[in-house]
Each structure stands twice: as structure tokens, then as C-alpha cells.
Structure 1
Amino acid sequence: MEAAIPKLNSLINVDQLREGALEIIRIIRPNWPENKLKYKIFTDGITNRLIGVYIDNIQELILIRVYGENTDLFIDRNLEFRNMRTMYKAGLSAPIYCTFVNGICYGFTPGKVLDQTMIRDLNISALIAENMARMHTLKPFIHKSNCKDNYVQESKSCLFSGLRKYLVLTTDVFSPKISNIQRSKHIYNPEKIGFEVAFLENELVKLKSPIVFCHNDLLLKNIIYDETKNKVTFIDFEYSDYNYQAFDIANHFCEFCGVDEFDPSLYPNKEFQTTWLKTYLSKWHSLNGINLTLSELERQVNQMLETIDKFSLAAHLYWGLWALVQAINSTIDFDFLSFALKRLEEYYKRKNELFIVQNRNHNRGY
């Protein structure tokens, strides 16, 4: 029987990370001498605060994540805990040591955080594709006392409910907290965005992408490469849930464009996508006990290229709305409003390329 993971009553003040981390370490590592503790504060995250604690060997680093302000409005922390446990049991993630009132404590994943060069390395990208295929076959553990099989496959995507949740939470987007409001009015309007969500739902559901267990936030900083083992590991499962297979892949490709400096020109080209998808689909079908001929594989790749193009729109809209919510609530030093505008602008640009031009050509008989 799996041991229960401790739930502590500790509440960490974000302005006193070291003091709060020490309180956690005293409980989960009581044999660690306090006078030898070393701390490492991570500053890359734009949702939460993260601090690591170790003694001599950084490979034994304990990570303590303090949740961002008001993130419970759009992140289900119980779901995140389930996701992390699921990935760990599958050998795809680090162990969880405890949870506390406003955060979680878990193991360190050794290796290098990916950058714009590493993400395009053919060996690393193949490892990512295979890892994602493995993740997409998982069935997260759900305890149901009246169910014979606790591993329940859900059949509903979180995508459109998530988009509508963000839409509701952005009703205060023009609050005094946000500067440069006039520039955002030309692109953000709740009624207009509501139409776009409905439009996407109508168009994307038609594509019948399988609903699988997805990471939903596979940006470069959430992928760790261990060169000694030639292995990639995914981290941070706050947004993981059942979703469309094509969304997870499209979102990963969108993340090539960066976060701090979002640059749409960095989106991977068709040649890279084709190679990536061949690896992914070969692994995906193998894990599902399906043998494909080369011609069947190539047909599926071509079909998925079109599907992923359209699901990339959902990724831009999703993170654009997410950033608006963060602009209202977060105290982290990041220009969320600027990021939101860039993602929404890219959404409309890509929508025009994929649908408006396509429909115009169709009407002309092309």
C-alpha cells in the first residue's frame, strides 16, 4: 500500500522564503544540520515562488514551491497533486515529500533546463516526443470508493471550460492595477473573446483529436535534460489534465517562441514538426499495440500537421487570457499585460491565415 504523503499546516510568507523553507526542512529532513543548510532561490517561474534547500550535494536538493497569489482561482491544487503522483509512479517525475497550506515540497530533477538551441536538437526533441507519447497513455489515479477500477479514464477536455474560466476572471482587466490600458482595448473585449472561444470550440471539436492526459504547459523551462542518462524529464504539472492530444503538441511548439521575449518567428518549421511527429506517432501507436505501415504513418503525420496548426490558435488564446488574469492578481515581476497582448495578437494573425484566407479560397473554388 502506498504511504500517505504528509500534509503540513505550515504557511510560508513569500517575503520570508528561507525561514519558511527551514520550517519545512525541519520536518521532512530532521537529521539535516541547520548550520550547514544551503539555499537556492529560483527566479525563472512566473506563477509561483520556488526555493531549493541542500547541504553539500545539489543532487539532493529539496524543492519547496510556494503558490502564487490567487492562483487557486484557476489552478486546482488537488488535481496538480494527483498529476505529480501519477507521473512519479510512471517514472516520469520526481517524488513528492509533503504539501503545506500554500505550497508543495518535492524532489529535484538533475540535468539542464532546455534553451532555444537544445529544444531543436534532434536527439533531445526525439526524447521529448517519446516522453509525451508515454504521458499521453497514462491514466491518473482517482480514488472512487464505489468504482472497481480507480484508474478512471475521463473523456472530457479541460480546454474550453478553462478558456471560459479565464474569460470570467478577466472582467477586471481594466482595473487601476494595470497600466497601458488603452493599448489593450483594441484587442481585448470580453464579448469578442467569448465569440472566439465559441468559434474555436466549433472548429476544433470537428477535428476529433483524442482526449488524453496532457501536460498542457510544456515550455522550455519545464523540460530537463540529463546528459549522463540521455533522458528528458517533464516538471511542473499545475495545468496538467485531460485535454486534446493535438493541443498538448501544438502548445509545446508554441513554446519554442519563448516567454520573456515572445517571438513567433521561432515557431518550428514543417520539416522539424514532421520529424517530431513521426517519432511521437511511432511511439504512441507502439504503446497502444498498433503497428503502422510507413504510408499510414506519413498520412497521419500530414493530417496532424493541419490539426496542430489549428490547435495552436487555442494555445495562443489560452495563455493570452491566462496572462491577463495574472496581470490582475500576480505580484511577480513580469510584464503579463505585454505578454497577453502578444499572444492575442498572434492568435488573430494565425486565425486569419488558417481560416479567413482558407475560406476565401474555398469560396473562389481553389
Structure 2
Amino acid sequence: MDIKRMILPFLLEVFAKFDSSQPISTEILSRTRYLCAKYLGGAWNRIRRDQFRLKAITIGRIIAPMMARVHTLDVPITKEPEVLNCARGWLAKFRQTAGGARPIDIRCTAARVPAHSYPASITCDQLEEELNFVEDFLIKSKSPVVFSHNDLQEGNILLFADYHLADDGSIRSQSGEDVTIDPLVLIDFEYCSYNYRGFDLGNHFCEYGIDYNCDEPPYYKIYGEMFNVTEQRRNFCKAYRDEVYRMRDSGENPHFPSDLVTGDRQKDLDRLVTESTLFMAVSNIYWSCWALLNAEDAVIQFDYSSYARDRLALYYQQKASLQKFMDSQ
């Protein structure tokens, strides 16, 4: 297997996992940095939020196969899913702060969620109970555990400098040359770990509706209409599925996960769409725990407190879909 072809498009930035007892090894860091320095040159452009939103269908068809290739990597770290370990770790630390000693008032700042969809306040104990509920869902979901990026939003997707997004949504070379390589690159694996495939999918679709490129408080915007992108979601999942089948049939990866596809392409597509939808709730409670802790000692200009509450409100709005799924199993 060509390690440069498999890994370099993704591991431009690798960091030890945030607040984890299983950090990425020094060997992985050193090898990745060496390979990147040796084989990668040039410059990149970040994709603007407006470009990401308006051209999500085209971009998604490129990102999806890249995500699929990440999910087939065999990385020498713990293979246990980390989503709940991280969330519970952040919550445990938040409990020890002044903010964790009192109820968390939930109010929406940027999210547009009806007040009747979420409680007025919750305690840390109640938030722990919600994580237990999510754990039950994760078990019943049977989503494959894969190596995951866990933070695939537009700020972590770069466009090679020689390429641009055309008005029709296509990606073209500014030099006029044919696009012969992936024009996009995934970066910043700070939160990477083995995780449920559905989390990486659901988290990515949460990010369709969140804009972090804001200069005024709360320093982010939430576009609720972008959470329900039926056409983009299905096209993304279809491109993901097709790449998984291509890799499986090529035999290029001796460590290819056997549970990513079933042999029934329609069934696989339906499952991916379902996972990408249901796991949005998991993403929301995960990042709410992260933001609650960061709000106690913020080092950058960002309203973590409001962000935590917005993501909690979104979680509660979506919780019923998790319960409905579990009741059907």
C-alpha cells in the first residue's frame, strides 16, 4: 500500500489528542511531519463559509471519499471509541469549577430552537444522565468503529492555492490544467481518535450550519436550515459509499475494515444517511461538554458559554429521534 497516497492528503496537521489518556504517539507525529515536509509543498486557501454553504454538493462529493479513506486507516492507537470518554472527561473537569457547582441555565443565543424543546436548566448530574442515554444509543446504533477526524468543518478543509471554486460549484485549476489530484486537503487532527463512523458523519453535517468566521459576539452563527440538507446529505453518503466499495474491491488496503459495507449498496446508503442524521445529536452534546469546560478558562475571543447552551438546545431538540430509533430496534 502506498502510504503517501493513503495518508498525506489527510495528515497535514496532527496533534496529540486533547485531554486524552491515549495521546498520539511520538512515532506517528515524527513520521507524519517528515513525510509532509518531504512530499508536500505549495500553499493552500481556506474555504470560506459562504462558499461551503452554497457549493456543499460539489465540495461534499470530494470530501466524502477523503473521509472514507481516513476511516479505513489502521492507526496504532487505542481502537476503542473515544466520544463518551472525552465528553465525560470534560464534564468531570467542569464539575470542579465554579460553573459546574450550579445549574446550567439553557438559553439560545444563535440557535433557533423553540423553548419548549429543552429544559430551562440542567445540573451536571442530569447532563451525565444524558450521556448515559447517548451511550445506550451508541450501542444500539451498531455504527462501525473507525479512525475518525472528529472535527471536519470548513476551517479544517483547505483548497490548494492553484484551484478555485467556480460559480457553478466546480473546482478548477487557475492555471487551466486538468484537476488530476484531490484539490482539497483535510487538516487539524487535534481531536482524532477511533470513534463511531456515524459521529464523523453527523458532526460534519452539524458543521454545515455553523459559521465560526464572525467578528462580533458570540463570534459564531447558526443557520438551522442548513441542518436539513437532504440532497447534499444523500450525495455525500453516496460518494462515501462508492469510495468504500472502490477501496474494498481494489484490495490496496490489507487492513480494510470488514464492517463498512454489506454488499447491498442501497442498504449501505440508507444506513449512512440514517447515521449521519441521528449522530448530529451526539455531536451536539459532545461539543456542549467541551464548551462548558472551555467557558471557565477561555483563552480566545469566543463565547463558549453561549455556544455550549446552543448546542445543548440542539441536542434536546434532536433527542426524540434517538429515542424513536432505539424503540424501533
Quote the residue 2:277 is aligned against. 309
Q: Is the 8 Å Cα contact of residues 224 and 232 (structure 1) preserved in structure 2?
A: yes
Q: CA deviation at 1:302?
A: 1.1
Instruction: Name the amino acid aligned to 1:110.
Output: W
Q: Is the 8 Å Cα contact of residues 204 and 310 (structure 1) preserved in structure 2?
A: no
Change (3 A) 1:308 1:357: closer
Instruction: Name the amino acid aligned to 1:209.
Output: S
1:163 aligns with 2:87: yes
Helix, strand or coil at the partner of 2:122? coil
Instruction: Name the amino acid aligned to 1:257.
Output: G
Superimposed CA distance per residue, residues 217-251 of structure 1 (whole angstroms, 9 cap, x where no aligned partner): 01111111222355111111110111111110110
| Structure 2: stretches of 5+ with no match in the other structure | 1-11, 108-118, 164-172, 174-178, 213-219, 252-259
Quote the residue 2:301 is aligned against. 333
1:284 aligns with 2:230: no
Q: CA deviation at 1:211?
A: 1.1
Q: CA deviation at 1:300?
A: 1.2
Superimposed CA distance per residue, residues 58-96 of structure 1 (whole angstroms, 9 cap, x where no aligned partner): xxxxx999x9xxx9872579428666667668x8xx449
Q: Is the 8 Å Cα contact of residues 65 and 243 (structure 2) preserved in structure 1?
A: yes
Quote the residue 1:79 is aligned against. 24
Helix, strand or coil at the partner of 2:141? coil
Q: CA deviation at 1:310?
A: 2.0
1:233 aligns with 2:185: yes
Quote the residue 1:297 is aligned against. 265
Helix, strand or coil at the partner of 1:289? helix
| Structure 1: stretches of 5+ with no match in the other structure | 1-62, 97-105, 141-151
Give the number of the structure whose alpha-carbon radius of gyration is greater.
Answer: 1
Quote the residue 1:133 is aligned against. 68
Quote the residue 2:7 is aligned against. none
Instruction: Name the amino acid aligned to 1:346.
Output: L
1:290 & 1:309 partners in 2: Cα distance?
A: 29
Change (3 A) 1:64 1:280: closer
Matched-pair identity in % = 25
2:232 & 2:13 partners in 1: Cα distance?
A: 36
Instruction: Name the amino acid aligned to 2:286.
Output: Y
Q: CA deviation at 1:212?
A: 1.0
Instruction: Name the amino acid aligned to 1:130.
Output: P
What is the correspondence of 1:24-63 to structure 2 with a 5 Å cutoff? none
What is the correspondence of 1:1-366 to structure 2 with a 5 Å cutoff? 74=19, 78-79=23-24, 94-95=36-37, 109-119=43-53, 120-140=55-75, 152=76, 154-172=78-96, 174-175=98-99, 182=105, 186-226=120-160, 227=163, 228=173, 229=179, 231-258=183-210, 259=212, 260-289=220-249, 296-355=264-323
Q: Is the 8 Å Cα contact of residues 17 and 191 (structure 2) preserved in structure 1?
A: no
**Count of aligned pairs:** 269
Change (3 A) 1:307 1:355: same
The alignment's TM-score, normalised by the length of structure 2, stands at 0.69
1:80 & 1:336 partners in 2: Cα distance?
A: 30
Instruction: Name the amino acid aligned to 1:254.
Output: C
Quote the residue 2:166 is aligned against. none
Q: Which moved more, 1:328-337 or 1:80-89?
A: 80-89
